[in-house]
Chain A
C-alpha cells in the first residue's frame, strides 16, 4: 500500500497525520493530502482511526472499578 494519488504517496500521508490533526500544514500540502484522502479509502480509514485514538486519549474516563474505588476513598476522607 503506497499509491500516488493527488501527487502524494500513502506513506507521505501517513508521515503527516499528526500535522493534519493539528492543522499544521502549508496550503499546498493540505490540498494534496485532501485530494489523496478523497481517493484513497485506506488512508481515509486510517486517518479516522488515528483521530479517534487521539480523541479517546483526551476524553476517556477511568474504568468503572477505578471510579468506584475513588468514590469510596473520597467518601471516607
Chain B
C-alpha cells in the first residue's frame, strides 16, 4: 500500500488484484445487486487511488472496506425485502445438501457465488459480509450487528446454510 500511495502503478495493480474479489462480494452483500456491486467496486478502487496519499498506514483492510461500504450504499437500488422464513436447522441443512450425495465442484461454486449471494435476504448478506468476507472477528461482527455472540453465530450459520442451498438450487436448476 505504501508503494501504491507513492504512485507505483504496478503496486496499485497488485493491490487491486488482491482485494477486488473481497470488495466486490462485500458490495454485493450490501446491495444485493450484481450491477450495483460492480459500480461500487469501480468507485472503491478509484477512491483508493485518489486518496492513497492520505492513507495513514494503519489497518488498510478496514480503511478499504469502509470505502467499499460507502460506495455500495451510494449505488444501492431500492429492493424488495426478502422475508426470512423461520425454518428448522435440519430443514435448512437438507436444502443445503446435508444428507445428500450430490457434490458441487469448486469451480462451479465460485462461478455461481455472486448470483447466490444476491438471492439472499439483507440480514443473511450482512452477517456474511462482516464475518466471512471482511473477516471481522465474531466479537466485532456481534458488536456491528448489535447481537449477542450466540445470536451472531446462529445467524451466520443459518446464512451459510441458506447460501449453500441457493448454490445447490442453481446447480439442480430449481
Q: Which residue of A lies closest to B153 (CB)?
A: A18
Chain A residues touching B, majority SS? helix
Q: Confirm or deny: B3 has a beta carbon within 8 angstroms of a beta carbon on chain A.
A: no
Min distance, Cβ A26 to any Cβ of chain B, angstroms: 15
- Contact partners of A45 in chain B: CB under 8 A: 101, 103
Give A59 to B21 CA distance when docked, in angstroms. Answer: 7
Chain B residue contacts of A28, Cβ below 8 A: none
Determine how close the nearest CB of chain A comes to the CB of B11; give it in whole angstroms.
Answer: 13
Is there an interface contact between B132 and A14, defined as CB atoms closer than 8 Å? no
Bound Cα distance A63, B118 (Å): 14
* Contact indicator A57/B133 (Cβ below 8 Å): yes
Given A56-B109, A57-B132: A50 touches B164 (CB 8 Å cut-off): yes
**Which of A46, A53, A60, A73 is in CB contact (< 8 Å) with B42?**
A73
Known: A11-B89, A58-B135. 5 other contacts (CB 8 A): A45-B101, A53-B160, A56-B109, A56-B113, A57-B25
> Can you name 29 A-B residue pairings with CB atoms under 8 Å?
A10-B99, A11-B93, A14-B93, A14-B98, A18-B153, A22-B138, A42-B98, A46-B96, A46-B97, A46-B99, A50-B96, A52-B104, A53-B160, A53-B164, A56-B109, A57-B133, A59-B21, A60-B21, A60-B25, A61-B20, A61-B110, A62-B21, A66-B38, A70-B42, A73-B46, A74-B16, A74-B42, A74-B49, A77-B49
